[in-house]
Amino acid sequence: MTNIYKTKLEGEKKLLEDELSELGKVDKAGHWEATPEDEMNSQEVPDEGDMAERAEDYEERSIKLNVLEARLSDINKALEKIDGENYGICEVCGKEIETDRLEVNPAARTCKECMEKIV
Ligand SMILES: [Zn+2]
């Protein structure tokens, strides 16, 4: 049964990595960083307005990248659990995570009850 989730997780991982590589690159420590705009588009000479806009773009990309990276890290942890055969166990109470919750979010780390407690 975990095979379905593994396929889902691997599919989502691939998509996330594609999105991440459009926004930035991995540094030596394995963390994703947004690519500065001037690296992406170096042939143009920017004026001040451009510079401000680019800084804003960079900021936006960094935020988006952090969200995607956090999601990717959850997925990697879920994949590790599948290999370690303790997948689908709530990290807080140790009970099995509801199947419908895993359907919606195969990278879920807690059961519904504990999810509400954490948030
Ligand atoms: Zn729980």
Interval 54-112: pLDDT, tens: 888 899 999 999 999 999 999 999 999 999 989 999 999 999 999 999 999 999 999 99
pLDDT score of 53 more than 90: no
Measure the CA–CA gap between 58 and 80, rounded to whole angstroms: 32
8 A C-beta contact, residue 20 and residue 72? yes
pLDDT score of 1 more than 80: no
Measure the CA–CA gap between 35 and 59, rounded to whole angstroms: 10
Measured in angstroms, how far is the CA atom of residue 113 from the centroid of ligand 1? Answer: 6
Question: Alpha-carbon dihedral of residues 3, 7, 9, 10, nearest 10 degrees?
Answer: 130
Is the pLDDT higher at 40 or at 25? Answer: 25
Residues less than 5 Å from ion ligand 1, measured at CB: 90, 92-93, 111, 114
pLDDT score of 43 more than 70: no
Measured in angstroms, how far is the CA atom of residue 32 from the centroid of ligand 1? Answer: 30
Q: Bridge partners of 26?
A: 32
